[in-house]
Amino acid sequence: MILNTYLNRRFGKPIWGCGRVRVKGVDMKILRIDVGEETVTAEAVPETLKLIGGRAFTSGWIYDFVDPECDPLGPYNHLVIAPGLLAGTPSSSVHRLSVGAKSPLTGGIKESNSGGIVAYKMARMGIKAVVIAGAPPEGKWSVLYIGPDGGRFDAAGDILGKGTEAAAQSLHHVYGDDAALMVIGPAGENRFSSAAILNSDREGFAARVCGRGGMGAVMAAKGVKAIVIDDTGTGPVSIADNDGFKKGAKQYIECLRETPQTSEIYTKFGTAAMTDVANELGGLPTLNFKKGRFDGAEKINGRTLYRTIVERGGNPSHACMPGCVICSSNIYVDASGEAIVRSLEYETLVLFGPNCGIDDLDELARINWMCNDIGVDTIELGVAVGIAMDAGIIPFGDADGVKGLLDEVRKATTMGRVLGQGAAVAGKVFNVKRIPVVKGQAMAAYEPRAIKGHGVTFATTTMGADHTAGFTIREGLDSHKKDGQVEASGRMQVNGMLYDMLGVCLFAHPAVRNRHDTLTRMVNGRWGTDITTAGLRKIAVAAMTTERAFNRKAGLGPSSDRLPEIFYREENPSSGTVFDIAPDALDALEYE
Amino acid sequence: MILNTYLNRRFGKPIWGCGRVRVKGVDMKILRIDVGEETVTAEAVPETLKLIGGRAFTSGWIYDFVDPECDPLGPYNHLVIAPGLLAGTPSSSVHRLSVGAKSPLTGGIKESNSGGIVAYKMARMGIKAVVIAGAPPEGKWSVLYIGPDGGRFDAAGDILGKGTEAAAQSLHHVYGDDAALMVIGPAGENRFSSAAILNSDREGFAARVCGRGGMGAVMAAKGVKAIVIDDTGTGPVSIADNDGFKKGAKQYIECLRETPQTSEIYTKFGTAAMTDVANELGGLPTLNFKKGRFDGAEKINGRTLYRTIVERGGNPSHACMPGCVICSSNIYVDASGEAIVRSLEYETLVLFGPNCGIDDLDELARINWMCNDIGVDTIELGVAVGIAMDAGIIPFGDADGVKGLLDEVRKATTMGRVLGQGAAVAGKVFNVKRIPVVKGQAMAAYEPRAIKGHGVTFATTTMGADHTAGFTIREGLDSHKKDGQVEASGRMQVNGMLYDMLGVCLFAHPAVRNRHDTLTRMVNGRWGTDITTAGLRKIAVAAMTTERAFNRKAGLGPSSDRLPEIFYREENPSSGTVFDIAPDALDALEYE
């Protein structure tokens, strides 16, 4: 384990099975679950892994224990669920949950994270990670219950086949309103590579999505329809050095409150604040990434979204996790004030919006709800549907047509299966010339010819075309020029990993970009350690190196670190640019 | 060019553009065709490439001139067409045609070869190779005419959309009965990754198929519906040393006549002679490679095929190319003596037969004709349809259902597109657990758990799961045991390349396995050279090394040289074996 090699040097101890992580008498544990044997085993966490959390944990575990050549949907893959290092602590925006596996979509290592309350509760239960391995008996489906006294397999029963909303309602009926859930929908049950895992939010709605890379299909391959996390009887997480932690948290929250983005812009407009920025740059994916500017952008931008929600009595500033002061989430309601979806966000708005030629917020909210209920990644499906439109299956702008296609995904018709397998498969089947994917994964809503730093991230991150993996657009560069983009992407990729291992929401970045010391203080307070900010960053780099090493062994070499050729050849007419960052320059990207 | 490096050492000359290959006053030429510019340029062949023919030429060219990272269906890919070194000479089974490109199916280097008369005529015209590059103007389709005075672009006109049979008829009407054709069908026009190129046989039927790896889609991406080869006015190929050639040819033909396989078994039963052998070993792919033995094998084996054809007055011993004494091809006729297909062969018989649970020769012949007319690889489609059956789309054994699915491929419905994109896409879309592909290409009709040498070849050849790339079953090993299989595959992979570069049919192998000297004599006679058999073998090894190097750069690393995991995990009940040759052993395979 590359991670361990680094840690070994730092802690000067052998790696596995030595010591144990204990904070004020509370032992942390890793739950190993074998779905073939139906066993749940709790084991102590070796001291050396104390500061390995979230994505650093999932990726390190996968590197150590998953054969890079294994079938992602076979018994040798592991589904690894790990709260970030700060999860459960009394702070803002720190309870993100990482879910990792070898991805059936990319064939490489994958981590997909979400907000909500799962990580928060797991942390309170002293759970460092849950690892699910093996293959279930043919046709067997379970609900995996994890409670204060351990774990058990319950029969999935009649929630099988249900959408995530109905399934969550049934589960709450059985396991109580306070249990946190991780649920898959019909898409997961059908092992679609776009299948997501839906996690409970603060109010118990399964609406926070680990969307990317088909983690829902891996969960399905383990025969697990849902995981119930019941933290009944647990208290707040133990904090080794309360004063130290509080000092860091106070400084951190001050940063959040003092920064306009985190105290006002994201709070009011949420992720949709990005719409005008991207449109202005000609970087808003429009009509299957044909161009980067959309006539109807104003109808779906952050301002319109905010105004509509406020006028109708919805909630424009919803917190998806306890203690969050940013509140970038929302509850989008219809004209009668009834909730349609929690929450309507930028990637969904754009990839089903401009990318599909649709400019109607209500329709986009309904489409979003359908995706959540079916249990698919809205990015993957938005791009796949854009491809289907480009191929003439339905016209651009046809919202009813989109809902019809999503119904097919739910029913797993042949058309639905093609779309459910994601944009790369849909692009191949429908033979369109522009297939906006990297490593088989659909691009998020940043047109890479106009926003070149995101293009670099899409190309080079181990994750496929993710946006959170290296978010460069706010890094002060000229988006249309290639200068500095590789360096910016490398830097933001490390930042991305850092936040993902801590469980910190990427939205805190504008506030703490120069104040990572506040995060470090919280980490040291929580765990009783004395790591430096540079030390945390070194762990992040080690974890990324681990991910890349896994990908290389899995067959994703440098030639997979590329945008599709057409983005080099065909101009984005809205920006007047092509993607012109040479393969050599991409290969030279460094994590720093 | 790795090839050139070897040759350089041998000939001690710089590589490109030096000297020219001229035999008795006849200059050999390479035709470079740019479909964007609509130019056809003839250039001299450098002396150093004199002994580089067929697959060695296509692969060497691709290594030198095609970016391994390019879009296979974009302008930077080349379609390279090269007769083998012995094509056009007065001998038996030596006129095979190699077609190569970066494959849209595997993403790696590809060569697919066929019999027929195209290579024969090209050789008579002094054509070393035809290379088609660039991208056509949007929506433009051409017929590429290559005649004694050069080449030109004719409009495709109303043959567009036609099946290969009707298209060939129309083309003969325009260009005369004697022209040789290379044609794609609707599958090619739709750029399906299973799209084949159909080449003229001796009687002018476009029935000899370069099936594998989607070469028809690459031809379509160049906007070429058909290539017409008009050798009017040309005579026999020039032979540098007639006596030397004749001596070699005489010995070679004696070998063919003295060997039961080439003088009787293949002549009577054709490729279908393999059916009983494979069934006996439990190695006949049955019900989507679930098992290796088929109850109805006797109804479709070589004997039944032969008897049926003879009783009905068809031709069981048809020669697909001039001068062939093996005559393994056939003309399969219906009960009224009307031809159904030319010719019904083992891979098609098995992959649409046992693999789809069908045991009716007439139905299989009709299915074969449909595949040829649509222009798809019968191996790829047989496996894709087997997968669709495994997924319950139609029942196993349903021949009418198969024809219905092929109609969908022809019409390019969503279902048809899924199947047309090949077995890997179909397997993913329909989510079956057994997807018998390597590097995205369907396995030929040898169950790799029971016939392990073929499993090694499927896994390790640069070509995807091809059978001709390393045909081990007749190499005297215990097929169920792993002992010696890696070495046998390595040896037969070199033999395969040797035959492919000479244009010699693999069916000559049983006769000349220990008499390659006869081939060497013919080569030296034809070209006035003095290479040894070991020297030819070295060129073959160099060409294979080139192919592997291309694949590595294209992203097909060692992890792509594997059988699907399930063949390691799940037993073939007919043989009681799993595939148990470890990845390390596969990686250690040497070309020798």
Residues whose CB is less than 8 angstroms from the CB of residue A65 and which lie 6 or more positions away in sequence, other chains included: A78, A131
Around Cβ B582, how many Cβ atoms within 10 Å?
Answer: 12
Residue of B102, B414, B432, B563 for testing the chain A interface, max A β-carbons within 10 Å = B414
Classified as helix, coil or strand, A34 is strand
Judged by CB atoms closer than 8 Å, whether chains meet at B417 and A429 is answered as: yes
Residue A425, CB-side half-sphere exposure with 13 Å CA sphere: 31
Classified as helix, coil or strand, B446 is coil
- The pLDDT value recorded for residue B539 is 96
Instruction: Round to whole Å and give the CA distance between A369 and A360.
Output: 14
The predicted complex's ipTM stands at 0.94
Which residues in chain A have Cβ-Cβ distances shorter than 8 Å to B569? 74-75
Q: CB contact, 8 Å: B68 with chain A? A: yes
Q: Say whether pLDDT at A12 is over 70.
A: no
Within a domain: A518: no
Within a domain: A154: yes
Within a domain: A313: no
Judged by CB atoms closer than 8 Å, whether chains meet at A566 and B430 is answered as: no
Residue spans of alpha helices (H) in A391-515 = 399-411, 414-420, 423-430, 452-460, 485-502, 509-512
Residues whose CB is less than 8 angstroms from the CB of residue A262 and which lie 6 or more positions away in sequence, other chains included: A255, A256, A325, A326, A507, A508, A510, A511
Shortest Cα distance from A393 to chain B (angstroms)? 9
Q: Average of pLDDT values for A470-493?
A: 96
Q: CB contact, 8 Å: A555 with chain B? A: yes
Instruction: Round to whole Å and give the CA distance between A466 and A457.
Output: 7
- The pLDDT value recorded for residue A19 is 61
Q: Are B198 and B372 a contacting pair, CB within 8 Å? A: yes
- The pLDDT value recorded for residue B21 is 85
Closest residue to A425, CB basis, from B191, B425, B559: B425
Instruction: Round to whole Å and give the CA distance between B529 and B521.
Output: 9
Tens digits of residue pLDDT in A213-253? 999 999 999 999 999 999 999 999 999 999 999 999 999 99
Q: Are B70 and B29 a contacting pair, CB within 8 Å? A: no
Q: CB contact, 8 Å: B293 with chain A? A: no
Each as own residue / partner, the long-range contacts of residues B400-404 (CB below 8 Å, 24 or more positions apart, any chain) are B402/B352, B402/B356, B402/B358, B402/B363, B402/B367, B403/B366, B403/B367, B403/B370
Q: Are A464 and A106 a contacting pair, CB within 8 Å? A: yes
Instruction: Round to whole Å and give the CA distance between B292 and B280.
Output: 9
Around Cβ B553, how many Cβ atoms within 10 Å?
Answer: 18
Judged by CB atoms closer than 8 Å, whether chains meet at A428 and B565 is answered as: no
Find the closest chain A residue to B414 by CA distance. Answer: A415
Closest residue to B431, CB basis, from A191, A430, A559: A191
Q: B39: which strand partners?
A: B34
Residue of B140, B110, B133, B154 whose CA lies nearest to B380: B110
CA distances from residue A55 to A114, A282, A501, A506, A574 in whole angstroms, order as listed: 11, 32, 5, 13, 36
Measured in whole angstroms, the distance separating CA B452 from the mean position of its chain's CA atoms is 22
Instruction: Round to whole Å and give the CA distance between B123 and A17.
Output: 70
Which tokens go with B568?
């390691």
Q: Calculate ∠ Cα B355-B359-B361, nearest 5°.
A: 115
Q: Which residue has the tokens 């220990």?
A: B514
Residues whose CB is less than 8 angstroms from the CB of residue A357 and which lie 6 or more positions away in sequence, other chains included: A286, A287, A389, A395, A396, A397, A398
Which residues in chain B have Cβ-Cβ distances shorter than 8 Å to A193? 428
Shortest Cα distance from A81 to chain B (angstroms)? 25
Tens digits of residue pLDDT in A38-52? 999 999 998 889 999
Model confidence band, residue A150 (pLDDT cutoffs 50, 70, 90): confident
Closest residue to B429, CB basis, from A71, A417, A560: A417
Q: Are B335 and B361 a contacting pair, CB within 8 Å? A: no
Closest residue to B429, CB basis, from A393, A425, A552: A425
Which residues in chain B have Cβ-Cβ distances shorter than 8 Å to A418? 414, 417-418, 429
Which residues in chain A have Cβ-Cβ distances shorter than 8 Å to B66? none
Residues whose CB is less than 8 angstroms from the CB of residue B12 and which lie 6 or more positions away in sequence, other chains included: none
Classified as helix, coil or strand, B287 is coil
Instruction: Round to whole Å and give the CA distance between B91 and B97.
Output: 15
Residue B301 phi, psi (nearest 5): -80, 180
Closest residue to A431, CB basis, from B190, B560, B569: B190
Q: Are A449 and A572 a contacting pair, CB within 8 Å? A: yes
Which residues in chain B have Cβ-Cβ distances shorter than 8 Å to A560? 555
Phi-psi sector, A150: left (phi>0), alpha (psi -120 to 50), beta: left
Strand order in the sheet with B339-342: B315-318, B329-333, B339-342
Instruction: Round to whole Å and give the CA distance between B467 and B472.
Output: 9
Residue A499 phi, psi (nearest 5): -60, -45
Instruction: Round to whole Å and give the CA distance between B578 and B231.
Output: 52
Closest residue to B68, CB basis, from A425, A559, A564: A559
Q: A114: which strand partners?
A: A97
Please give the full DSSP string across B237-259, using - where no structure is assigned.
Answer: PP-S-HHHHHHHHHHHHHHHHHS
Judged by CB atoms closer than 8 Å, whether chains meet at B71 and A428 is answered as: no
What is chain B's pLDDT, residue by residue, as a tens digit (592 residues)?
444 444 444 333 334 445 678 888 888 999 999 999 999 999 999 888 999 999 999 999 999 999 999 999 999 999 999 999 999 999 999 999 999 999 999 999 999 999 999 999 999 999 999 999 999 999 999 999 999 888 999 999 999 999 999 999 999 999 999 999 999 999 999 999 999 999 999 999 999 999 999 999 999 999 999 999 999 999 999 999 999 999 999 999 999 999 999 999 999 999 999 999 999 999 999 999 999 999 999 999 999 999 999 999 999 999 999 999 999 999 999 999 999 999 999 999 999 999 999 999 999 999 999 999 999 999 999 999 999 999 999 999 999 999 999 999 999 999 999 999 999 999 999 999 999 999 999 999 999 999 999 999 999 999 999 999 999 998 999 999 999 999 999 999 999 999 999 999 999 999 999 999 999 999 999 999 999 999 999 999 999 999 999 999 999 999 999 999 999 999 999 999 999 999 999 999 999 8
The burial of B15, by beta-carbon neighbours within 10 Å (0-12 exposed, 13-18 middle, 19 or more buried), is given as: middle
Judged by CB atoms closer than 8 Å, whether chains meet at A74 and B569 is answered as: yes
Q: A32: which strand partners?
A: A41, A131
Strands B29-34 and B39-44: antiparallel
Judged by CB atoms closer than 8 Å, whether chains meet at B69 and A414 is answered as: no
Residues whose CB is less than 8 angstroms from the CB of residue A430 and which lie 6 or more positions away in sequence, other chains included: A387, A388, A390, A391, A393, A418, B417
- The pLDDT value recorded for residue B19 is 61
The burial of A418, by beta-carbon neighbours within 10 Å (0-12 exposed, 13-18 middle, 19 or more buried), is given as: buried
Within a domain: A244: no
- The pLDDT value recorded for residue B17 is 45
Find the closest chain B residue to A426 by CA distance. Answer: B418
First to last CA, chain A: 20
Instruction: Round to whole Å and give the CA distance between B305 and B350.
Output: 13
Closest residue to B559, CB basis, from A414, A555, A559: A555
Which residues in chain B have Cβ-Cβ distances shorter than 8 Å to A191? 431
Tens digits of residue pLDDT in A433-466? 999 999 999 999 999 999 999 999 999 999 999 9
Number of domain units in chain B: 1
Q: CB contact, 8 Å: B554 with chain A? A: yes
Within a domain: B210: yes
Within a domain: B32: yes
Instruction: Round to whole Å and give the CA distance between B580 and B586.
Output: 11
Q: Is the dihedral of CA A310, A314, A317, A323 positive or negative?
A: positive
Residue B132, CB-side half-sphere exposure with 13 Å CA sphere: 34
Q: CB contact, 8 Å: A470 with chain B? A: no
Q: CB contact, 8 Å: B585 with chain A? A: no
Judged by CB atoms closer than 8 Å, whether chains meet at B566 and A417 is answered as: no
Using CB atoms and an 8 Å cut-off, which of residues 386-415 of chain B contact chain A?
393, 414-415
Which residues in chain A have Cβ-Cβ distances shorter than 8 Å to B76? 565
Around Cβ B530, how many Cβ atoms within 10 Å?
Answer: 10
Within a domain: A421: no
Within a domain: A60: yes
- The pLDDT value recorded for residue B4 is 47
- The CATH code of the domain that includes A175 is 3.60.9.10
Which tokens go with A456?
């670099």
Q: CB contact, 8 Å: A444 with chain B? A: no
Residue of A414, A439, A561, A581 for testing the chain B interface, max B β-carbons within 10 Å = A414
Closest residue to A559, CB basis, from B192, B414, B555: B555
Around Cβ B57, how many Cβ atoms within 10 Å?
Answer: 29
Instruction: Round to whole Å and give the CA distance between A541 and A528.
Output: 22
The residue range of the domain holding A133 is 2-229
DSSP state of B572: B
